[in-house]
């Protein structure tokens, strides 16, 4: 089979370290009858070890050359290929509850995480390889530099754990940065329930629009000092000092109006 040339526009860096592959599959812990969806199977580094433990695997792939290789290598009843962009894929088109796994392209990782968050009620868990700094932002605690919009919006929906770091040499071609594997388990309600999640998204986005400014400045015209007082929130704090449940409280005050 001819060698596949990695495509920059798809952010392709293929995992090739056997120990890392085994560690990821062990973390996913697939049981034979589980429904598992792999995003971006690439050259099959995770695909084959997952299929070794599963009756059937679903994959989402955009690269036509890779799709052709997969079709040649795996019978359709074992590998269900969903052709297209993971950013546009309706994961709920796969029946039942499912696990998701993938080595996510760095160039679309943040919008893809937000897209996947909308399917949380059907997800058992998700395990992703991402740029290390993205994982650090995802799991960041309040009052640290990495804590931001991504932290708040994902922690609102998921329990997350940074499992382990993966060096560049585990890939071909090697990326210029370290990677990390994160586990995400849906846990909506862990920080309260937003009456309208679009309002929560708006408040968080506005609050972090200028990180060095205070909540009072960033949310001017949206929340006033009396609102902050009613919520027990100090308006002179910066957005990174505010816990997820406090953002939910702000959003619910606005939704109630």
Helix (H, G, I), strand (E, B) or coil at 124: strand
Percent of the chain residues topping a pLDDT of 90 = 89
253-257: list long-range contacts, CB under 8 Å, 24+ apart.
253/223, 253/227, 254/199, 254/203, 254/222, 254/223, 255/194, 255/195, 255/196, 255/199, 256/195
User: Considering only the top CATH level, what class is 8-186?
Assistant: alpha beta
Helix (H, G, I), strand (E, B) or coil at 83: strand
Position 129 scores a pLDDT of 95
Closest CA to 80 of 106, 50, 111, 109: 50
Does the structure show a pLDDT above 90 at 7?
no
Does the structure show a pLDDT above 60 at 5?
no
- Bridge partners for 100 per DSSP: 37, 126
Q: Where are the domains of the chain?
A: 8-186, 197-255
Give me the mean pLDDT over the 102-106 stretch.
88
Does the structure show a pLDDT above 90 at 200?
yes
Could you tell me the fold of the domain covering 197-255?
Helicase, Ruva Protein; domain 3 (1.10.8)
Position 106 scores a pLDDT of 82
List, for residues 141-158, the tens digit of each pLDDT value: 999 999 999 999 999 999
């Amino acid at each position: 089979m001819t060698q596949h040339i990695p495509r920059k526009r798809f952010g392709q860096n293929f995992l090739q370290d056997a120990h890392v592959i085994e560690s990821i599959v062990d973390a996913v812990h697939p049981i034979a009858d589980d429904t598992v969806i792999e995003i971006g199977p690439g050259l099959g580094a995770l695909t084959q070890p997952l299929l070794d433990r599963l009756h059937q695997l679903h994959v989402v792939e955009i690269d036509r050359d890779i799709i052709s290789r997969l079709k040649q290598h795996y019978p359709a009843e074992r590998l269900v290929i969903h052709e297209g962009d993971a950013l546009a894929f309706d994961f709920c088109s796969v029946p039942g509850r499912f696990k998701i796994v993938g080595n996510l392209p760095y160039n679309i990782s943040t919008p893809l995480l937000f897209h996947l968050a909308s399917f949380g009620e059907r997800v058992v868990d998700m395990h992703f390889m991402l740029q290390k700094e993205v994982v650090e932002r995802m799991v960041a605690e309040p009052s640290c530099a990495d804590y931001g919009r991504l932290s708040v919006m994902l922690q609102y929906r998921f329990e997350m754990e940074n499992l382990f770091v993966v060096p560049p040499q585990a890939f071909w071609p090697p990326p210029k940065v370290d990677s990390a594997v994160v586990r995400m388990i849906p846990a909506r309600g862990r920080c309260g329930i937003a009456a309208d999640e679009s309002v929560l998204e708006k408040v968080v986005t506005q609050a972090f629009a200028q990180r060095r400014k205070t909540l009072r400045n960033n949310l001017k015209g949206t929340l006033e000092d009396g609102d902050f007082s009613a919520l027990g929130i100090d308006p002179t704090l910066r957005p990174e000092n505010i816990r997820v449940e406090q953002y939910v409280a702000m959003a619910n005050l606005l939704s109630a109006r």
